[in-house]
Amino acid sequence: MDAPGGKLDLRRSRPLPEFMAVVARRQSTGILAAFSEGAQREILFVDGEVRAARSDVEEEKLGSWLVLRGHINEDEKALTLLSQGSGDTPPLGHLLVTRGCIDQETLEHELAELAVTIIRRAAAASRAFCEFVEGRTEGQPDTLPDLTTTELILLAAREFRNVEELRSALEPLEQIAWPSVTLDTLLDELSLTPTEAFFLSRLDGTRRLEELIRVAPVPDEEALATLYALKTAGIITVGDAPAAGLAPLPSINTQRGGSGEHIGVVDEAMLSPEQLAERARILELADEVARLDHYAALNLPRKAKADEVQAAWERIQEQYSPDRSLQPHVRDLRPQLQTILDRASEAHEVLANPVSRKRYNRILESLEAQRQKELEEIKQQHQVSQEARNQLVEANFKRADELIHEGEPYLAIQLLEQACRMDPRPAELLKLARLLLRNPLWKDRALKTLRRALEVDPNFVDAWLELAEFWRRRNNPERQRKALERALAADPEHPRASQMYRQLVGQRELERLLRRARSRQR
């Protein structure tokens, strides 16, 4: 598909998802047009990222789409189109918001839904012909703020169902498939189908396509379509062998080792009941240690003597040493073992010292007294009144701040999770997410917490900035940019958001974004 000299060769009528992948890989800017059955649909790219889609099909134009979806009526559409005129007139969506026909949040949601629909229909269309025209479209906003280009290519590839071309794109089926180098990053953000997840779970090292199709719990046509989608989106690579020096990445059910190495999948079907039980115990404990107090982290009673504390610590060092990952049945659990050991180490450091242990006991006693009081109130009233509930939430937030100041993040996490379940305040959810981010194994919990904060308050700039940092650390500039654009849409004058966006895309793009954001707030 790549022509000599670095140009894109789109002269052949190939599936649209494959052309999308080429444009994204080359980080090209321009319009990818798909022609089929009298329809022309266009996908707008900027530096290899899909920013928007448009169509000349009447029902896929914004005005008609909003009428079909019940957001405006035909009269509102007609009058707004008449007032739009030509030249420098603002776009239809802006005019509809200005006239009060639709609110900005609904418009943005519908623009995203429309763009996805256009891309899917373009990919599903038979006998489509594609053409890419390079060149920057000035001032094109991102109408797909919640979807990355990889996700959109995957969505498009799922729509392509020509069995002959699917097989042709994958043949010869004796080729080997292995996960792409970005698999661990992609899994943070992709929503996979059960069949896609099944194939990824089978890629322990490498696997021949014909073997994957044979063991798949779906018909051959569905297996071909799934493998095609994974290959086109860049989630798996297909060839004679992995590239030289490129080790295959683990599949969906594996973890990255503590030194950065990649570890194959453990086949649980080959394990004994005792080995399966130990794996389950390690996974559960690694997830729970953030909620355990120091005594529970060492599996000790409060009255444990000093020698018992030391014995418990030595027992955990032996039972949960990361070196145990050399054993085949736990070879993929080194990060979990390290988390358990680190937590026990902190607990031992506090409880082995009489002074720090006495201080910690006072903290626990005060928390237990507070909890006991709450339980007694519940028993007396049968249910907590709103006033009592608010008091409980305030007390938990206040005490969590004190515990953070005192260097007790695990107890603070417990209180924040409890309080945020009753009253999900964005600032407190952000605080909780930052505590969880201290441990790489809890990044999924932290990400969910950040997203919860933004569900409660979509204009919470600090949460968008934290999300941008989250994706920056994972080397995902597209997700980072989208988060920063949401932050600046909420507050175009925010200095840190502006600085981060400038560093990412440059001053010119920042000025364009700020002009759009400020015009929307007028």
Lowest mean pLDDT among 180-189, 193-202, 272-281: 180-189
**DSSP annotation string for 362-381:** HHHHHHHHHHHHHHHHHHHH
Burial class (CB in 10 A: 0-12, 13-18, 19+), 438: exposed
What separation in angstroms does the CA of 271 have from each of 274, 307, 403? 8, 36, 42
Phi-psi region of 134 (alpha: psi -120 to 50; beta: other; left: phi over 0): beta
The pLDDT value recorded for residue 449 is 93
How many other β-carbons are positioned within 10 Å of the β-carbon of residue 6?
7
The pLDDT value recorded for residue 522 is 65
What separation in angstroms does the CA of 44 have from each of 72, 88, 139? 26, 20, 12
Q: How confident is the model at residue 237 (pLDDT cuts 50, 70, 90)?
A: confident
Could you tell me if 429 and 450 are in contact, meaning their C-beta atoms sit under 8 angstroms apart? yes
List, for residues 33-82, the tens digit of each pLDDT value. 998 888 999 999 998 999 999 999 999 999 999 999 999 999 888 888 88
More confident residue, 241 or 176: 176
Q: What is the distance, to the nearest Å, from the Cα of residue 89 to the centroid of all Cα atoms in its chain?
A: 37
More confident residue, 12 or 458: 458
CA torsion sign, 474 to 477 to 478 to 482? positive
To the question of pTM greater than 0.85 for the whole model, the response is no
The pLDDT value recorded for residue 205 is 58
Q: How confident is the model at residue 370 (pLDDT cuts 50, 70, 90)?
A: confident
**DSSP annotation string for 443-487:** HHHHHHHHHHHHHH-TT-HHHHHHHHHHHHHTT-HHHHHHHHHHH
Interatomic CA distance for residues 135 and 203, integer angstroms: 39
How many other β-carbons are positioned within 10 Å of the β-carbon of residue 351?
24
Could you tell me which residues come within 8 angstroms of residue 418 by beta carbon, excluding any fewer than 6 positions away?
396
List, for residues 314-346, the tens digit of each pLDDT value. 999 999 988 888 888 888 888 889 889 988 998
Could you tell me if 479 and 189 are in contact, meaning their C-beta atoms sit under 8 angstroms apart? yes
Backbone angles phi, psi at 280, to 5 degrees: -60, -40
Question: What burial letters (b/e) apply to 273-292, b meaning 16+ CB within 10 Å?
Answer: eebeebbeebeebbeebbeb
CATH class of 268-352: mainly alpha
Could you tell me if 28 and 50 are in contact, meaning their C-beta atoms sit under 8 angstroms apart? no
Query: Between vectors from CA 198 to CA 193 and to CA 204, what angle results, nearest 5°?
Result: 135
98-107 mean pLDDT: 88
What dihedral angle (degrees, nearest 10) is formed by the CA atoms of 294, 299, 300, 305?
-90
Pairing of strands 49-55, 30-36: unpaired
More confident residue, 373 or 186: 373
Q: What share of the chain is helix, strand, coil (3-state, %, to 5)?
A: 60, 10, 30
Could you tell me which residues come within 8 angstroms of residue 319 by beta carbon, excluding any fewer than 6 positions away?
none
What separation in angstroms does the CA of 1 have from each of 13, 325, 346, 453? 11, 43, 56, 43
140-153 mean pLDDT: 88
341-353 mean pLDDT: 90
Domain ranges (residues) in the chain: 4-153, 161-239, 268-352, 458-522
The pLDDT value recorded for residue 374 is 65
List, for residues 410-420, the tens digit of each pLDDT value. 889 989 998 99
Interatomic CA distance for residues 517 and 156, integer angstroms: 30
List, for residues 434-489, the tens digit of each pLDDT value. 999 988 878 888 998 999 999 999 999 999 999 999 999 888 899 999 999 999 99
Percent of the chain with pLDDT over 70: 85
Average pLDDT, the chain: 83
More confident residue, 225 or 516: 225
pLDDT tops 90 at residue 494: yes
Interatomic CA distance for residues 123 and 61, integer angstroms: 18
pLDDT tops 60 at residue 385: yes
Query: Between vectors from CA 188 to CA 25 and to CA 156, what angle results, nearest 5°?
Result: 45
Q: How confident is the model at residue 193 (pLDDT cuts 50, 70, 90)?
A: confident
217-240 mean pLDDT: 90
Cis preceding linkage at 172, omega within 30:
yes
